[in-house]
Amino acid sequence: MDKMEFSMVFIAIMLVLCSSANAQKIASPPSFSPTPAPAPAPDFVNLTDLLTVAGPFHTFLGYLQSTKVLETFQNQANNTDEGITIFVPKDDAFKSLKKPSLSNLTQDQLKQLCLYHALPHYYSLAEFKNLSQGSPVNTFAGGDYTLKFTDDSGTVHLDSGWTRTKVSSSVHSTDPVALYQVDKVLLPESIFGTDIPPMPAPAPAPDVAPTADSPTGASASTGSSPTSSPANSSQRIINWGIWTQLALAVSGWLVMSCKRGFY
């Protein structure tokens, strides 16, 4: 093979190798970096459903709806990053509320009362321990509508001035909404004033009935038992003296009768 033929073969081999390399590049699919999946949208929290299923909280829910505070709470729960914490009184709490009465409140005061039962932030039960150190805490009603919190070994206590109660159970506690049941309606001083009635005195302890063998009556005061009382002893002495005199009189009469019969 001369040089010309060798050059032709070499060129042909190079063309075949280049064609194969180009074919592999074209055949291989282009590589793309994976696109991250979009984050799931947070679940919509329906406060009406929560308060209807739990409870009974029908009275409180009725007030929220009539004052349109429910819409405010609903927007805070689903359209803000802060979330919301609501203290929900039971129906019995409203029934036991005699004085002061809610029937004399204006519509605006009733709305403020409803707003007073919420904090514009989500708090778990564990967070109230730190929150109690910063009392009083501003409520959703704003201004002077504050609440005082204390934590007693994990039990959360609330004090509005007029109302002192505690969180009795957790109805719902998943960020962004916390619903906590309370046993009393929270009455703010900003509506009902500072003339707060005193707390009722504790009931007196029941009297303990005396035991069967304990002294009673006059014997207890004199420190002696009924069987050894001076009155009973004197009575027995008098009776014994009467019987003794009677026996002596009968004996004397018999002796005199015998003497007369003998003579």
Q: In this structure, which long-range contacts are made by residues 102-106, counting pairs with CB atoms below 8 Å and at least 24 apart in sequence?
A: 102/185, 105/191
pLDDT tens string 194-241: 777 665 555 565 555 555 454 444 444 444 444 444 455 555 555 556
Q: Tokens 């409140």 correspond to what residue?
A: 105
What's the DSSP call for residue 132?
A: G
CA distance 255 to 140: 114
Instruction: Pick 72 or 249 by higher pLDDT.
Output: 72
Angle at 129 between CA 124 and CA 130, to 5 degrees: 95
d(Cα 263, Cα 259) in Å, to the nearest integer?
6
- pLDDT tens-digit readout, 51-68: 999 879 999 999 999 999
Straight-line distance from the first to the last Cα atom of the chain, in angstroms, rounded to the nearest whole number: 205
The two three-digit tokens of residue 66, written as one number: 């009539």
The pLDDT, as a whole number, for residue 49 is 94
pLDDT in tens, 89-134: 999 999 998 778 898 899 999 999 999 999 999 999 999 988 888 7
| Contact of 97 with 185, CB cutoff 8 Å | yes
| Contact predicate 173/84, CB 8 Å | no
At 129-165, the pLDDT tens digits run 888 887 799 999 998 999 999 999 889 999 999 999 9
